[in-house]
């Protein structure tokens, strides 16, 4: 007999503090009907795999109705599933089947903007409509002829388009789209907008979802210049400058209250480009009832030399570990961290921070995971990271599909940047690396689809795939399973205080986690050369036991390339 069906898994207070989250980008996860696009039934088919990995929560990137200008981050109906991905009945089944396995489900919430096909926006196009003020409508700049080139209200570029303003001939005005013309920004100053969003969120909570990942949520409160209609010249890197507006905390607290986010013990994580530690301290302080945690961008913006992610820079290890340590310290008292390297917007961690050569891929993927998962906070795994998927061989512009990459290529080459340089930036940072299909096995389309995948499968799926990783206990997959289990079993991993050691060491990432008189020491060689352990600068290692290592043994005084060890120190008596 099976154990009784668990319909709604309980959500004890702060359950998310011991959880590991797995992000699914549905379009690239598993296709079930041969159209080359991943879908909800495909996810249902893979739930046993996710249970075997041991994760507690799934976060689904958007599956709502959408024209797919930005792969679903442009929503035209928040209360329905796009036919590409299935139906509401499929979603309900996914939820029930996940819950039956003790896995929770978190939805993506994209409410800084809608699609330009959303009924709210369509109505707003009419200047006389009650929804005109739900979006930002502005006339041409003084002296400009509406619709003529250069007459936009200001010179701010969009993230994925040359201008943040799109002309609408029906009313002779422009609307704001910080990301692209297909993603008009909602005006959160209008209380009706906020109530409509909260009602929609309650509808999902009633359906049984366990939380929300909130897309660019620190952009909902816009700077006063925008809300009052004055010109605002943001200049380059404009996104960051509209972030963290004056009413952000007020809106988040209101949302929490109105939707019952804390009351229902939901997981809430706010994606926050440009958020500082101070913003995160406020937003995640439990006493303020805003959000559980935020996604910082600081550590994924370190390998760039300007506000633009396309201006590549080297990233020395001390800079990366120093940044994570600052966030650990900043949120040590109140508040909580999220922990991630990878998501659908970032290149693959093993290619970016590790070494994806055949010699070092497995150990560098394991060691990067050891380091991240031993920080304090809630770890996020992005699909494929758990068996070491790498960047794809994208070498010409014809290989790219993502709106961000295509827009950057057009703008940069028109602006005189050499083609090779643009391609180098795209190859390092393009979002398509994260979006190639999950490599399930070594067959033609990697087990992702029986049809033609919407984006080509990485040819290295013959060697790198989930099936071969699952068969090998020494694989990256096996290591992730052990890290997840360790977090579940070990209170020091969950709650211990973090302290960075050897901050200037160029190869070693070393730190302790301490709870009462229990101390874990993490020693990780984040380089492709061997490294001596400088014992004299570390706590006494005598009698220390290896909790988990990437290599056999553990007593040696040097670490092999990309070797890491988690040690439990003898309590000092």
> Where do contacts with ligand GLC occur on this chain (CB under 6 A)?
70, 73, 110, 179, 215-216, 271, 344-345
Query: Which residue stretch of 27-35, 63-71, 196-204, 471-479 sits at the interface with Ca ion (rule: CB under 5 A)?
Result: 27-35
Q: How far apart are CA 403 and CA 183, in angstroms?
A: 12
Q: Which does 35 bind (CB under 5 to 8 A by kind): ligand GLC, Ca ion, none?
A: Ca ion
**Binding residues among 430-459 for Ca ion as defined by CB under 5 A:** none
Q: Which does 33 bind (CB under 5 to 8 A by kind): ligand GLC, Ca ion, none?
A: Ca ion
Does 518 contact Ca ion by CB under 5 A?
Answer: no
Cβ at position 134, least distance to ligand GLC in Å: 18
Cβ at position 395, least distance to Ca ion in Å: 28
Report phi then psi at 430, rounded to 5: -55, 145
Give the nearer residue to ligand GLC in terms of CB position, either 303 or 345. 345
Residue among 39, 108, 116, 271 flagged as catalytic: 271
DSSP 3-state assignment of 2? coil
Residue among 215, 356, 385, 386 flagged as catalytic: 215
DSSP 3-state assignment of 550? coil
Give the nearer residue to ligand GLC in terms of CB position, either 131 or 431. 431
472 an active-site residue?
Answer: no
Residues that bind Ca ion (rule: CB under 5 A) add up to a total of: 5
- What is the per-residue binding string for Ca ion in 337-356, x denoting contact by CB under 5 A? --------------------
Of the candidate residues 31, 82, 154, 168, the single one contacting Ca ion (CB under 5 A): 31
36: left (phi over 0), alpha (psi -120 to 50) or beta: left
271 an active-site residue?
Answer: yes
Q: Which does 64 bind (CB under 5 to 8 A by kind): Ca ion, ligand GLC, none?
A: none
Give the nearer residue to ligand GLC in terms of CB position, either 180 or 507. 180
Cβ at position 390, least distance to Ca ion in Å: 25
Cβ at position 345, least distance to ligand GLC in Å: 5
Strand 57-60 to strand 104-109: parallel, antiparallel, or no bridges (unpaired)? parallel
Residue 517 Cα distances to 492, 496, 502, 520, angstroms: 10, 10, 22, 10
**Binding residues among 32-51 for Ca ion as defined by CB under 5 A:** 33, 35, 37, 39
Cβ at position 48, least distance to Ca ion in Å: 19
Q: Which does 73 bind (CB under 5 to 8 A by kind): ligand GLC, Ca ion, none?
A: ligand GLC
The partner residues of 519 in beta bridges, in order of sequence, read 514
Question: Distance between alpha carbon 306 and the CA centroid of its chain, in Å?
Answer: 21
**Which secondary structure element, helix H or strand E, spans residue 564, and what is its range?**
strand 564-568
Q: Which does 31 bind (CB under 5 to 8 A by kind): Ca ion, ligand GLC, none?
A: Ca ion
Give the nearer residue to ligand GLC in terms of CB position, either 59 or 562. 59
**b/e map 221-252, b = 16+ CB within 10 Å:** bbbeebbeeeebebeeebbbbbbbbeebbebb
Strand 558-559 to strand 531-532: parallel, antiparallel, or no bridges (unpaired)? antiparallel
Q: How far apart are CA 137 and CA 142, in angstroms?
A: 15
Q: Which does 513 bind (CB under 5 to 8 A by kind): ligand GLC, Ca ion, none?
A: none
Q: How far apart are CA 373 and CA 380, in angstroms?
A: 9
Strand 508-515 to strand 497-501: parallel, antiparallel, or no bridges (unpaired)? antiparallel
Query: Which residue stretch of 14-22, 24-32, 121-129, 480-488 sits at the interface with Ca ion (rule: CB under 5 A)?
Result: 24-32
Closest residue by Cα to residue 74 from 161, 183, 201: 183
Q: Which residue number has the CB closest to ligand GLC? A: 73
Cβ at position 215, least distance to ligand GLC in Å: 5
Q: How far apart are CA 51 and CA 44, in angstroms?
A: 11
Question: Distance between alpha carbon 468 and the CA centroid of its chain, in Å?
Answer: 26
Cβ at position 60, least distance to ligand GLC in Å: 13
Q: How far apart are CA 476 and CA 460, in angstroms?
A: 16
- What is the per-residue binding string for Ca ion in 455-484, x denoting contact by CB under 5 A? ------------------------------
DSSP 3-state assignment of 216? coil
DSSP 3-state assignment of 331? coil
Q: How far apart are CA 203 and CA 448, in angstroms?
A: 32
Cβ at position 239, least distance to ligand GLC in Å: 9
Q: Which does 179 bind (CB under 5 to 8 A by kind): ligand GLC, Ca ion, none?
A: ligand GLC
Give the nearer residue to Ca ion in terms of CB position, either 37 or 81. 37
SS3 per residue for 172-185: CEEEECCCCCCCCE
Q: Which does 506 bind (CB under 5 to 8 A by kind): ligand GLC, Ca ion, none?
A: none
Which residues are designated catalytic?
215, 271
The residues that touch Ca ion, with contacts defined as CB under 5 A, are 31, 33, 35, 37, 39
């Amino acid at each position: 007999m099976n154990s009784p069906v668990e319909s709604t898994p309980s959500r004890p207070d702060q359950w998310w503090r011991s959880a590991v989250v797995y992000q699914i980008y549905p379009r690239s996860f598993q296709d079930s009907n041969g159209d080359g696009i991943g879908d909800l039934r495909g996810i249902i088919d893979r739930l046993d795999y996710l249970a075997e990995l041991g994760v507690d929560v799934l976060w689904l990137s958007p599956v709502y109705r959408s024209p797919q200008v930005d792969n679903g981050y442009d929503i035209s109906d928040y209360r329905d599933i796009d036919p590409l991905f299935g139906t509401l009945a499929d979603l309900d089944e996914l939820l029930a089947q996940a819950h039956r396995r003790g896995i929770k489900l978190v939805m993506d919430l994209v409410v800084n903007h809608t699609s330009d096909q959303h009924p709210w926006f369509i109505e707003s196009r009419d200047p006389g409509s009650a929804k005109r003020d739900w979006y930002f409508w502005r006339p041409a700049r003084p002296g400009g002829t509406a619709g003529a080139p250069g007459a936009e209200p200001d010179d701010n570029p969009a993230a994925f388009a040359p201008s943040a303003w799109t002309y609408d001939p029906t009313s002779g005005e422009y609307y704001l789209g910080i990301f692209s013309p297909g993603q008009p920004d909602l005006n959160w100053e209008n209380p009706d907008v906020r109530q409509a969003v909260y009602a929609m969120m309650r509808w999902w909570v009633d359906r049984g979802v366990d939380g929300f990942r909130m897309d660019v949520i620190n952009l909902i409160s816009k700077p006063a210049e925008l809300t009052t209609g004055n010109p605002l010249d943001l200049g380059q890197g404009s996104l960051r400058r509209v972030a963290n507006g004056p009413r952000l905390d007020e809106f988040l607290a209101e949302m929490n209250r109105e939707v019952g986010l804390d009351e229902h013990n939901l997981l809430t994580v706010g994606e926050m480009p440009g958020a500082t530690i101070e913003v995160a301290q406020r937003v995640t302080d439990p006493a303020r009832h805003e959000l559980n945690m935020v996604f910082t961008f600081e550590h994924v913006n370190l390998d760039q030399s300007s506000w633009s992610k396309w201006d590549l820079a080297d990233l020395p290890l001390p800079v990366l570990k120093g940044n994570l340590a600052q966030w650990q310290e900043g949120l040590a008292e109140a508040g909580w961290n999220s922990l991630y390297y990878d998501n659908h917007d970032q290149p693959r961690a093993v290619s970016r921070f590790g070494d994806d050569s055949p010699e070092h891929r497995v150990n560098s993927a394991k060691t990067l995971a050891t380091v991240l998962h031993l920080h304090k906070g809630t770890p996020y795994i992005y699909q494929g990271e758990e068996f070491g998927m790498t960047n794809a061989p994208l070498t010409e512009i014809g290989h790219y599909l993502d709106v961000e990459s295509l827009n950057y290529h057009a703008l940069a080459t028109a602006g005189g940047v050499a083609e090779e340089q643009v391609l180098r930036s795209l190859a390092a940072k393009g979002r398509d690396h994260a979006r190639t299909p999950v490599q399930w096995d070594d067959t033609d389309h990697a087990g992702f689809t029986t049809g033609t995948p919407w984006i080509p499968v990485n040819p290295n799926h013959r060697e790198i795939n989930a099936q071969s990783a699952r068969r090998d206990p020494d694989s990256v997959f096996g290591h992730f399973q052990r890290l997840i289990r360790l977090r579940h079993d070990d209170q020091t991993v969950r709650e211990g205080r973090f302290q960075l050691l050897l901050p200037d060491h160029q190869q070693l990432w070393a730190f302790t986690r301490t709870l009462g008189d229990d101390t874990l020491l993490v020693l990780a060689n984040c380089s492709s050369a061997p490294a001596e352990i400088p014992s004299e600068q570390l706590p006494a290692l005598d009698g220390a036991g290896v909790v988990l290592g990437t290599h056999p043994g553990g007593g040696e005084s040097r670490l092999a390339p990309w070797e890491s060890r988690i040690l439990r120190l003898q309590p000092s008596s």
